[in-house]
């Protein structure tokens, strides 16, 4: 799907000049040089220091100040185009400067509105499996992110359970938080089993690690260990920071962007110093702190503004981008949820973000809802149609057809119409019919109820690509053995 970037035709959003982006970059270099970042890993400190960074050692951590040439070298070493491999080539998604797509959810939602009882409850592993199965069916979801928490499993091993539920229920590329260095090694082992062996997995890694620098300006121990382990193992990472303007970042959008940029690049630099060419996706879901409520809302204009800025910084550095742009603060799949979603998903798409995530998420990324997911997916399709714009050529201007039809003529019977009518958008769940036809087809059900019905139908009928022989058993054995080890240590 083509996005609205300068390089291609389409509707786009050019929010910043080249001078603006230069200013953010130069300000970032000053933060690296003068302020530095806090690093809580001894191994990471050694890596930074060995590359020529200045390290101020403290008790249990260090402040790392990085010269501009190291920053800019590492940015150049990171690939500008990344292929997110599926379990089969048909599911590959190439994140380059001409594509946009969507991913489900907004991270690991802790709660879900149960589609049967319509009551809110904590999420369990089966919810991860069910949401991912629906995402596997939906063409708008080009990759999968772990959409919920396997809250019924051991906290230490939930990432393993999340991965098992994800890879079993979708053949699309997966993004997930790994939790620890030990979990990373186990999940790589599980992914290799699903890929037909470690050699195959290294050629086509089927998952990307979510890595989260901590605002302000901190790389914590576990995060450093995951970055180092993934880089050494050839695993790409999606580097996502969540700065809160006015709380963990400056209250201005430009100040928040400078800090956000520094945090993302700090993790990218560590990854490149471990292994040049490690795939890094420039990401973020930074927003504001609502000073009156003490909350971190996401269905707001500032979320869209920052998502646009994040996409543009990624393009400036020639890196793939992943931005938050499709979630709501509403507690229900209602009109507010639709407005919140459309406000920010549209902005991110027109900015040319490669992956926009958030469909299905309400209550400020705490809760997942199936109806919201289905409705958001249809809106994703409409947004992707819009940003394509339309071709202007002799064929599409249709002067001969206009002349042939003439004043007061008609176009229904023209060959030109037959050739091009399938290019026009079609209704799916959203209604365009007459009231009589709507009542006949839906029984008068509103959009939300029809969305719940569609989700239930997908779960009942959709069968994802089966795992390779032995993979399910191998993953189960890895998890059970690992959990037994952890329990014996307690």
Q: For the residues 253-269, what does the mean pLDDT come to?
A: 98
Does 9 score more than 80 pLDDT? Answer: no
- What CATH number was assigned to the domain covering residues 1-389+425-490? 3.20.20.480
Q: For the residues 469-473, what does the mean pLDDT come to?
A: 98
Q: What percent of the chain has pLDDT over 90?
A: 91
Does 10 score more than 70 pLDDT? Answer: no
pLDDT at site 13 = 81
Mean pLDDT of the chain: 95
Global pTM reads: 0.94
pLDDT tens-digit readout, 306-338: 999 999 999 999 999 999 988 999 999 999 999
CB atoms within 10 A of CB 398: 17
Q: For the residues 346-360, what does the mean pLDDT come to?
A: 95
Does 98 score more than 80 pLDDT? Answer: no
pLDDT at site 289 = 93
pLDDT tens-digit readout, 214-230: 999 999 999 999 999 99
pLDDT tens-digit readout, 21-38: 999 999 999 999 999 999
Q: For the residues 148-176, what does the mean pLDDT come to?
A: 97
pLDDT tens-digit readout, 100-113: 999 999 888 999 99
Q: Domain map of the chain by residue range? A: 1-389+425-490, 394-423
């Amino acid at each position: 799907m083509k996005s609205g970037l300068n390089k291609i035709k389409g509707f786009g959003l050019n929010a910043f000049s080249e001078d603006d982006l230069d200013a953010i970059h130069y300000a970032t270099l000053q933060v690296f040089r003068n302020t530095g970042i806090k690093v809580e890993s001894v191994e990471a400190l050694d890596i930074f220091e060995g590359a020529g960074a200045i390290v101020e050692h403290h008790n249990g951590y260090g402040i790392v100040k990085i010269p501009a040439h190291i920053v800019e070298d590492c940015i150049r070493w990171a690939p500008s185009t990344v292929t997110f491999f599926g379990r089969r080539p048909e599911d590959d998604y190439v994140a380059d400067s001409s594509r946009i797509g969507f991913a489900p959810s907004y991270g690991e939602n802790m709660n879900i509105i149960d589609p049967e009882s319509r009551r809110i409850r904590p999420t369990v592993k089966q919810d991860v499996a069910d949401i991912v199965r629906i995402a596997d069916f939906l063409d708008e979801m080009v990759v999968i992110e772990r959409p919920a928490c396997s809250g019924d499993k051991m906290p230490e091993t939930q990432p393993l359970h999340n991965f098992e539920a994800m890879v079993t229920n979708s053949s699309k590329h997966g993004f997930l938080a790994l939790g620890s260095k030990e979990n990373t090694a186990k999940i790589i082992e599980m992914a290799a089993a699903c890929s037909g062996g470690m050699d195959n997995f290294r050629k086509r890694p089927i998952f990307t690690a979510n890595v989260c620098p901590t605002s302000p300006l901190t790389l914590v121990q576990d995060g450093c260990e995951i970055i180092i382990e993934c880089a050494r193992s050839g695993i790409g990472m999606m580097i996502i920071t969540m700065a809160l303007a006015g709380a963990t970042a400056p209250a201005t959008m430009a100040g928040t962007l400078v800090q956000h940029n520094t945090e993302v690049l700090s993790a990218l630099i560590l990854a490149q110093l471990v292994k040049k060419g490690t795939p890094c996706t420039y990401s973020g879901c930074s927003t504001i702190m609502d000073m009156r409520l003490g909350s971190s809302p996401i269905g707001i204009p500032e979320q869209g503004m920052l998502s646009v800025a994040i996409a543009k910084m990624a393009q400036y550095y020639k890196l793939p981008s992943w931005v938050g742009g499709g979630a709501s603060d509403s507690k229900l799949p209602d009109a507010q949820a639709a407005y919140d979603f459309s406000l920010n998903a549209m902005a991110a798409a027109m900015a040319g973000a490669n992956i926009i995530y958030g469909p299905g998420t309400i209550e400020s990324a705490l809760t997942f809802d199936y109806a919201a997911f289905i409705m958001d997916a249809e809106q994703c399709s409409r947004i992707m149609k819009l940003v394509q714009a339309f071709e202007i050529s002799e064929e599409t201007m249709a002067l001969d057809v206009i002349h042939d039809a003439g004043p007061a003529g008609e176009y229904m019977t023209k060959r030109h119409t037959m050739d091009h009518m399938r290019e026009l958008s079609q209704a799916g769940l959203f209604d365009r019919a007459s009231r009589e036809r709507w009542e006949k087809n839906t029984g008068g059900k509103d959009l939300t109820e029809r969305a719940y019905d569609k989700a239930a139908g997908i779960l009942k009928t959709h069968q994802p690509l089966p795992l390779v022989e032995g993979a399910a058993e191998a993953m189960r054995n890895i998890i059970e053995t690992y959990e037994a080890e952890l329990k014996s240590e307690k």
